């Protein structure tokens, strides 16, 4: 058991605890242990690497998305038709720390009539916030608003994930739907 009692040094009448060392000894100890500490920190960083790799081209999977949504989400027929036309077009390309989102111009049904839906082509940096065996949470600048937003990818396998298509934004419907993506390259 360690002795934590206070001892008095003879040279100066100041308390010196047994765990204290004179300054030259502390510096020598720090120099001796620094390489070990750095090696442990470097190893710890490598051991926390994400097992999922986002790199590549991911395409929205309309069939898987609509199959899930029709079986599990409570969609009105007009919402079902809109989602069926919308899903399956978005492509996400992750390369390095950049996300490239491409949504082509398409036609979607609105109130029973086919209407143009403007696409987009955007590049933006992203960063991974969290990674586990089943998900990646990442953040990037919002596509249509100010600030950043976090997105969670829920992995089915190494080349398939889904994203929750609900919303907490006031005025936007919370459909409790999913959009599935498959890695195509």
Tokens representing 155 are 């992995």
- What's the pLDDT band for 173 if we cut at 50, 70, 90? confident
For residues 82-89, give the mean pLDDT: 96
pLDDT, tens only, 32-63: 655 554 444 444 333 357 888 899 999 999 99
Q: What is the mean pLDDT of residues 120-133?
A: 95
Q: Are 151 and 137 in contact (CB under 8 A)?
A: yes
Q: What is the pLDDT of residue 11?
A: 46
Nearest CA to 115 among 105, 101, 126, 128? 105
Q: What is the pLDDT of residues 69-84, one digit of tens each?
A: 999 998 999 999 999 9
**Residue 181 CB contacts under 8 Å (≥ 6 apart), including other chains:** 58, 59, 60, 61, 92, 153, 160, 161, 162, 163
pLDDT at 103: 97
- Fold category of 56-183 in CATH: Lipocalin (2.40.128)
């Amino acid at each position: 058991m360690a002795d934590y009692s206070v001892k008095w040094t003879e040279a100066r009448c100041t308390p010196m605890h047994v765990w204290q060392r004179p300054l030259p000894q502390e510096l020598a100890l720090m120099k001796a242990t620094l390489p070990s500490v750095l090696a442990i920190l470097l190893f710890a960083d490598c051991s926390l690497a994400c097992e999922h790799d986002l790199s590549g081209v991911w395409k929205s999977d309309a069939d898987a998305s609509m199959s899930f949504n029709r079986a599990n989400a409570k969609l009105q027929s007009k919402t079902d038709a809109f989602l069926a036309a919308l899903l399956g077009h978005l492509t996400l390309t992750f390369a390095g720390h950049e996300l490239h989102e491409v949504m082509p111009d398409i036609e979607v049904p609105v109130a029973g009539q086919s209407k143009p839906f403007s696409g987009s082509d955007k590049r933006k940096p992203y960063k991974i916030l969290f990674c586990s065996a089943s998900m990646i949470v990442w953040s990037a600048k919002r596509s249509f608003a100010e600030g950043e937003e976090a997105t969670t990818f829920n992995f089915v396998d190494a080349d398939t994930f889904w994203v929750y298509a609900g919303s907490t934004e006031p005025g936007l419907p919370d459909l409790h739907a999913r959009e599935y993506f498959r890695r195509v390259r």
